[in-house]
A and B are shown apart, each in its own frame.
Chain A
Amino acid sequence: MNKVKKLLKMIFLVEIAQGLALTLKTMLAPAVTRQYPTFKRKPIPGSRGLHAMRRDEKGNPACIGCGLCEAVCPAKAITVVTTEGPGHEKVVNSYELDLFRCVFCGFCIDACPVSAILMTPEFELACYSRKDAFYTRDRLVEVGDNYMGRKAAKKP
């Protein structure tokens, strides 16, 4: 009986018909593709994108130059140069982030003791010049200002 059933299935192409029905059903269902540049998905909260630097209460860049992010970075994307200031305090001479090296792991954010460096969900990082992919401290602060400003403007 089972053999006859199998033979009939083969002769009348039952399984092919089932397959055809499935593809037809898929065709009539809406496609899952998003038309990217015209339709952008909202970033998922907590997604790791472009870095930003926070300001402290006085409005200066919050980085204290401890170098922990530089130490923890697995891709060696961060370079911090510090010197001693006139009052024996630590001065951050330069803070550079190389996006060509960055793997967006987020370890620098975890390592920062004062939460100076952050990540925004910004992911469209294409640029026309190689220089544009090197983020200095000032540019990181600017990104942070823009991002925070946008967020603050949205909140109320």
Chain B
Amino acid sequence: MPGIHQIVNIVTSLVVPVVLLLAFVMLNAAYLSYMERKVLAHMQARLGPMRTGWHGLLQPIADGIKFMMKEDIIPAKADKWVFRIAPLILLTMAFGAIVVIPFGPSTDLFGLLTKKVPLSVSNLNIGVLYILAFASVGTYGVIMAGWASNNKYSLMGGFRSAAQMISYEIPMAFAIITVVLMAGSLNLSDIVNAQENRWFIAALPVGPVAFFLYLFAGIAETNRVPFDLPEAESELVAGYFTEYSGIRFALFFMAEYISMMVVSLLVSIMFLGGWLPVQILPQTLGHIAPIAWINRLLAAVPPTMWLLVKLYFFLFFYMWLRATLPRYRYDQLMTLSWKFLLPLSLGTLLVAAGMKQMGWL
């Protein structure tokens, strides 16, 4: 029989963070679709959604209602249970990955709590490995969706996705290991704290290279333009979710946006100092009054806000790329990964290891 203290403890340490995170992520996933449509529209000199609510602000809600009201269609020759489970796997894995992400430094919520708690649902010591594992398992959802639909386009999309994710996971893992080497920890909070003096993107010469490697691999991992081969509209109708409609289709979309968020958060945490404030000018010039004032003003912004600013910048960057770049050809995609990114990431890792050994990093 658990005591009242234990129940309160479970509620405050597990239920409240999970509910808050779920609300934040779901709201974001809905409004990212709005943001994507708006950004794409304006980049193409259009307006985007304008009718539902002020400047179309209620569009995600209207979309959600529409998705839920739609008939739930499962193709007659589909593998029914696999077909049903596939979007859930994808969504669960995307959600699972975001659990370990710290949204700020350890806090006692302005004195509300007796001891400091990390601002993540689970402050895992192997956070980086955990995210890599979840990203890999998500691939199964895609392959299962492609296989269960019993449709050649879906199958091709699923296979492409599998090949692509396997190819890009390797340079991505090496880029992450470079960061882990620099930080000396697999814990995401520790990685941020290790960047107190210098963000890892500024850790010459390996930092910027690892940053771009991770960014490319992350975009490829989430199947976004210019690496959106698995859902190439012009070739494969919609790729692995061709046969999906209604709420299941919406689940795929949500999973995509959530994994975009995970990648963006990871980039900000691993290379751009997470919740550490932006310092326009180096601290060494701090004795000049205006520079010190600006830096103090920037440091006064709450840490979580900084992380969100970086998150939304990278989400915007995703959409920006989508509006700008055409799609890679399939062989180019593979060439880029195996012949270019993989040797580069290995080299970066070697250089980083050597520099770490010499104490230069």
A interface list, Cβ under 8 A from B = 16, 19-20, 22-24, 26-27, 29, 31-33, 35
Contact = CB atoms under 8 A, between A and B. Distances in A.
A29 B325 contact: no
A27 B42 CA distance: 5
Interface residues of B, number: 14
Q: Which of B41, B42, B320 has the most CB of A within 10 A?
A: B42
Contacts of B44: 26
Interface in B20-45: 39, 41-45
B324 interface: yes
Nearest to A33: B47
B324 A20 contact: yes
A19 B325 contact: yes
Given A27-B39, A31-B41, A16 B46 contact: no
Contacts of B43: 23-24, 26-27
B42 A19 contact: no
A23 B50 contact: no
Q: Which 10 residue pairs of A and B lie closest in terms of their CB atoms, listed nearest first? A: A27-B42, A33-B47, A23-B43, A19-B324, A23-B324, A27-B43, A31-B47, A23-B323, A32-B45, A33-B46
Contacts of A26: 42-45
Contacts of A24: 43, 320
A22 B186 CA distance: 39
Contact of B320 (A20, A29, A33): A20
Given A16-B325, A31-B42, A23 B47 contact: no
Contacts of B47: 31, 33, 35
A16 B324 CA distance: 8
A136 to B, nearest CB: 37
Contacts of A33: 45-47
A25 B17 CA distance: 40
Q: Which of B44, B47, B50, B324 has the most CB of A within 10 A?
A: B324
Contacts of B39: 27
A22 B47 CA distance: 17
A12 B50 CA distance: 38
18 contacts: A16-B325, A19-B324, A20-B321, A22-B324, A23-B43, A23-B323, A24-B43, A24-B320, A26-B42, A26-B44, A27-B39, A27-B43, A27-B323, A31-B46, A33-B45, A33-B47, A35-B47, A35-B50
